[in-house]
A and B are shown apart, each in its own frame.
Chain A
């Protein structure tokens, strides 16, 4: 109950902060623009074209959403500590747990609503362009849009969780900023940066330096630990099978081989690959659960120990 009071007050405060609106509008604007411009594959028609274009928007927004989530969260606790308003929060009968949970609820709500709004508006614009709206007139893929959006919201919340944990663990604004930038680099940039990605580094260390035989399972598992990769794989659970992407399987079959193959042959090649449980699509939920849970636990523990002065 007290955590809710903290959340309510924090949400009110956040709602009146310009940064929140600027980042929120930016996200909405970009989503809407893409929905207005993207067409999807020109050989497709109607719903199929919509589904593909919408997935393209999701894939691109997936790079930007962490920034919005991090910006909305990184000062949640560290900012109050540096400014001194935390003295009010904690001299009233709130425990640090109330503060931590309240902040988590408030910032999750802010980011969640922003992402939700962006994708619903984008879906509406795209739907209108493809003559799928209004509802009932044509077969607007409601389940697909909601499923995809829900997964993206979960993805966004992992960044809220990581940022809040960092914000709770540091005492100053400058460290919070360093943490925020670090989060984006560590969880996004390092995974997709060509030649020097986390996977490349692990491969180099494991194979080239330690001289062990290459272990595709290990390298792909390392790659899977990024929320971004987890989102890409997790989307397979909600998109129609023709839109699924199989990065791990493709890598094993060989991109060149796949390119040369025909559609049916390609399908057969991919189905022929057997992935261990921890590389399958469902495991994306475990990756999300990890990023939602573990950093929060560590951040909370640090906050509970912290000396506030």
Chain B
């Protein structure tokens, strides 16, 4: 079953700004979907459309099979939201926020348990005006979790959290997803998406430029498993390009940078280079998600890339 389905969803602000362009997106029940893209790519606009904060210029969307503008209240009965750019109520305590959310949702959660779940139990009785950014974020997450919703919509959930908090939140999301909750979250941080998502959608300039599993995205782009080696010398005889699975190799100073089409090839590549010369250091390795991201979004640097898969997300 499909939890979120958007069809040609478009949002223009004024005449010139198209924040979301012809978005077709389908998110299945129980999946963790990471909505990735640089700031201003249209992620929050999409979320605000789903929540009926703003109305589509064109196209439509359904959540739980209900139209987002017609049945917003019913949708939100079953949804937990961590909104963008929210502010807490300075004069209410953390616990009062959660009590209010429980009352509004008409459920009988224990506010203390919810607060404990997000690690805010100790500050529960303080007014939220004195909360740090991270504590406010935990509170917002607590409000989202009230009533064990079928869908969690989280806009930049890790912003303001320290590494511990981020780790804790990821675990929380995984637990919820394991219980069957669908999670739709946006982020401009790649590591976060990689750590928890089943599937990723990449937004850029209001368009969905790619949707796939991370594996699929890597394969689709190819050559993004890179390994950079510092060598004593680089003999001419060294021609890793001839190796299977190597897409490209470049030399800069004494650094050899090799792009493979899958991470599996990296060990072989290092071994091969080491047999020809003395590898002093493996400077960096990894399927550079960074590059994957840049490939799809142009990354704001290095100019446009002409990959087939980029820009196929439907334009005007």
Contact = CB atoms under 8 A, between A and B. Distances in A.
Contact of B89 (A2, A85, A93, A309): A85
B159 to A, nearest CB: 13
Contacts of A13: 89, 91-92
B305 interface: no
Contact of A93 (B86, B96, B97, B104): B104
B48 interface: yes
B77 A91 contact: no
Instruction: Indicate the member of B44, B86, B92 with the most A CB atoms within 10 Å.
Output: B86
A147 B140 CA distance: 47
Contacts of B44: 309
Nearest to A79: B87
A92 B48 contact: no
Given A2-B104, A309-B54, A84 B86 contact: yes
B88 A85 contact: yes
Contact of A84 (B45, B85, B92, B103): B85
A92 B83 contact: no
Contact of B53 (A17, A83, A308): A308
Nearest to B92: A13
Contact of B103 (A5, A16, A87, A95): A5
Q: In the complex, which range does the number of interface residues on chain A fall in?
A: 20 to 34
Nearest to B54: A307
Interface in A1-59: 2, 5-6, 9, 12-13, 16-17
A307 B84 CA distance: 14
A95 B88 CA distance: 19
B101 A92 contact: yes
A94 B143 CA distance: 14
B73 interface: yes
Interface in A69-96: 83-85, 87-88, 90-95
Interface in B72-99: 72-74, 76-77, 79, 81, 83-89, 91-92, 96-97
Interface string B193-228: 000000000000000000000000000000000000
A309 B13 CA distance: 11
A85 B81 contact: no
Contacts of B153: 91
Contact of A90 (B45, B53, B143): B53
Contacts of B85: 84, 87
Nearest to A1: B106
Contacts of A17: 91
Contacts of B89: 9, 13, 85, 88
Instruction: Indicate the member of A13, A93, A307, A308 with the most B CB atoms within 10 Å.
Output: A93
A168 to B, nearest CB: 15
Instruction: Indicate the member of B76, B89, B105 with the most A CB atoms within 10 Å.
Output: B89
A12 B92 contact: yes
A92 B76 contact: yes
Contacts of B79: 91
Interface of B: 44-45, 48, 51-55, 72-74, 76-77, 79, 81, 83-89, 91-92, 96-97, 100-101, 103-105, 127, 140, 143, 153
The 3 closest A-B pairs by CB, nearest first: A91-B81, A87-B83, A16-B91
Interface of A: 2, 5-6, 9, 12-13, 16-17, 83-85, 87-88, 90-95, 307-309
Given A87-B85, A91-B51, A93-B73, 19 more contacts: A5-B100, A5-B103, A9-B89, A9-B92, A12-B96, A16-B91, A16-B127, A84-B86, A88-B86, A88-B97, A90-B51, A91-B76, A92-B105, A93-B104, A93-B105, A94-B104, A95-B73, A308-B54, A309-B48
28 contacts: A5-B103, A5-B104, A9-B89, A12-B92, A16-B91, A16-B127, A17-B91, A84-B85, A85-B87, A87-B84, A87-B85, A87-B87, A88-B83, A88-B97, A88-B101, A88-B143, A91-B51, A91-B76, A91-B79, A91-B81, A91-B153, A92-B101, A93-B104, A94-B76, A95-B72, A95-B73, A309-B44, A309-B53
